[in-house]
A and B are shown apart, each in its own frame.
Chain A
Amino acid sequence: MQYLVSVIFDRDKDGFATPEEGAAIDVFNERLMAEGHWVFAGGLGTTDSATVIDNRGGETMFTDGPFLESKEFVAGFWIIEAADLDVALKLAAEGSKACNRKVEVRPFM
């Protein structure tokens, strides 16, 4: 079973990742790989760099900015392999500690 672990960035509280956070994330990533939980992970640019595309009509529409303006946004993610939610929650808790941010866990369908 795969889960998406999204890293939640709070504009008001969080700054850019520090070198310590980066190092902790590396350690965590290595563990995910060693224990067979790793699928993929990545950091994202801020929502200022987002573009929304709507091609449902006749003409492709581009909108500058994110689909939802909010003070919190997804700043990165892991996709992990876990037997069940208990395993996923434990890994996500460690991920939250490593990156020093809140995270959200959602199952893939």
Chain B
Amino acid sequence: MNDADVGKAITRAHHEEWARLVAFLTRRLGDLDIAEEAAAEAFAAAVQRWPVDGVPPNPGAWLTTTANRKAIDRIRRETRREDKHKEAQLLYDDDPPEPAGVIGDERLRLIFTCCHPALAMETRVALTLRMVAGLTVPEIARAFLVRESTMGRRITRAKDKIKAARIPYRVPPAEDLPNRVSGVLAVLFLVFNEGYLASGPDSDPVRHDLTAEAIRLTRLIRDLMPEDGEVAGLLALMLLIEARRTARVSGGGELVPLDEQDRGAWDAALIAEGHRLVRERLAAGQAPGRYQILAAINAVHTSARDVRDTDWSQVVALYDQLVRLDPSPIVALNRAIAVAELDGPEAALAAVDRLEGKLAGYHAYHATRADLLRRLGRSHTSRAAYDRAIELAGNTAEVAYLTRRRDQLGR
């Protein structure tokens, strides 16, 4: 086995084993911080040993044993009185192999702890990326455009709070589960969105690592809660957006809007899976939640082979349903975009203008207005709206697209 193969084996093991390892150690030691450190040390040891000794036949078992030893070392080093019995427990626990189902639950426990409602949303996102997804602190800091030291402090503070306030390490009881799951889904959707529409002048327009990680974690939740409609809805939504990823940014790094995308470049397998999930939810016959409706809207878009085949009345009807559930101005804005296709730009513009008070600081509001004004031939006001949208947009591909659109306006 050459070095490249060993490197791949380590990457794969990291992908497959990191969360399981952190989760296992946290339960065993009752300390997220020691678990994280021991898991990281085990992987560092693998980077050193595997190229020399070869990849072990069962990498997961090797990593578990190594991490366990590292954790015991640390606890011994600290040899505080209260850790003595912990050490004894560690030494006598004979590490019985766990059935697959329990391992799954183990990771779920970790996700629920990282997404605890007593932690701030940005903290939950950071902690989930570190503990569950296994991203490093510098990687997370880069993704959210904060200093490494700031992100490090945020994660350390979260670990301290979990310990000091005794945030429990468990899957919440059934009666609390619906609420808590929605909190977890919100974190995963935030991670996905940050990947999908990465912000910042120097960042790539699409951070595939983040979208892929969000999908992977949502799949994990779905494996464990296959009957939950919103979990299925969020997974379908992510898949249907991810399917269009490569068609969404041009070779020149410019955003390509839905109506101009090369639909042949969409990922057929992801779309098929997304559609299957949406059909499954429709067949379930339960009132859909927010993610299921958003997934259904994306299913309508991805069912049209040509943008002209889009069933806009269906899209508007779904947005009507969404507005009843979530009467936020952003939903109203997206509904207006569909109305423009069904009833024309004039009707849509009237609806958009009503949102000014709430969305004046949001780039998509101005971009939508600019587009509607352009279609109505009102170049002068359209240009002003493009200017404002460009000023507010954070995504490089979006800025490039808006700039071109503005510069194409006639006088």
Contact = CB atoms under 8 A, between A and B. Distances in A.
Interface of A: 1, 3, 83-86, 88-89, 105-107, 109
Contacts of B164: 107, 109
A107 B166 contact: yes
Considering residues B164, B165, B167, which has the most beta carbons from chain A within 10 angstroms of its beta carbon? B165
B165 A86 contact: no
Nearest to A3: B165
Contacts of B118: 85, 89
Nearest to B169: A84
15 contacts: A1-B166, A3-B165, A84-B166, A84-B168, A85-B116, A85-B165, A85-B166, A85-B167, A85-B168, A86-B167, A88-B165, A89-B117, A106-B165, A107-B165, A107-B166
Nearest to A106: B165
B172 interface: yes
Interface string B167-185: 1100010001000000000
Given A84-B166, A88-B165, A89-B118, 18 more contacts: A1-B166, A3-B165, A84-B167, A84-B168, A85-B116, A85-B165, A85-B166, A85-B167, A85-B168, A86-B167, A86-B172, A86-B176, A89-B117, A106-B165, A107-B164, A107-B165, A107-B166, A109-B164
| Across the A-B interface, the 4 shortest Cβ-Cβ residue pairs | A84-B168, A107-B165, A84-B166, A85-B165
A99 to B, nearest CB: 20
A62 B117 CA distance: 41
A86 B176 CA distance: 10
Contacts of B166: 1, 84-85, 107
B118 to A, nearest CB: 6
Secondary structure dominating the interface of B: loop
Interface residues of B, number: 10
Nearest to A89: B118
A84 B117 CA distance: 14
Secondary structure dominating the interface of A: mixed
Considering residues A83, A85, A89, A106, which has the most beta carbons from chain B within 10 angstroms of its beta carbon? A85
B172 to A, nearest CB: 7
Contacts of B116: 85
B127 to A, nearest CB: 15
Contacts of A83: 168
A51 B172 CA distance: 44
Interface in B165-212: 165-168, 172, 176
A24 to B, nearest CB: 23
Nearest to B164: A107
A105 B118 CA distance: 10
Contacts of A85: 116, 118, 165-168
Nearest to B172: A86
Considering residues A89, A106, A109, which has the most beta carbons from chain B within 10 angstroms of its beta carbon? A89
Interface in B99-125: 116-118
A35 to B, nearest CB: 16
B162 to A, nearest CB: 9
A5 to B, nearest CB: 12
Nearest to B180: A86
Contacts of A88: 165
Contacts of A109: 164
A14 B168 CA distance: 33
Contacts of B167: 84-86
A65 B289 CA distance: 51
Interface string B290-325: 000000000000000000000000000000000000
Nearest to A105: B165
Contacts of B165: 3, 85, 88, 105-107
B170 to A, nearest CB: 8
Nearest to A109: B164
Nearest to A86: B168
A106 B167 CA distance: 12
Contacts of A3: 165
Interface string B43-56: 00000000000000
Contacts of A1: 166
Nearest to A84: B168
A42 B165 CA distance: 22
A69 B176 CA distance: 38
A60 to B, nearest CB: 33
A82 to B, nearest CB: 9
B119 to A, nearest CB: 10
Interface string B115-150: 011100000000000000000000000000000000
A88 B172 CA distance: 14
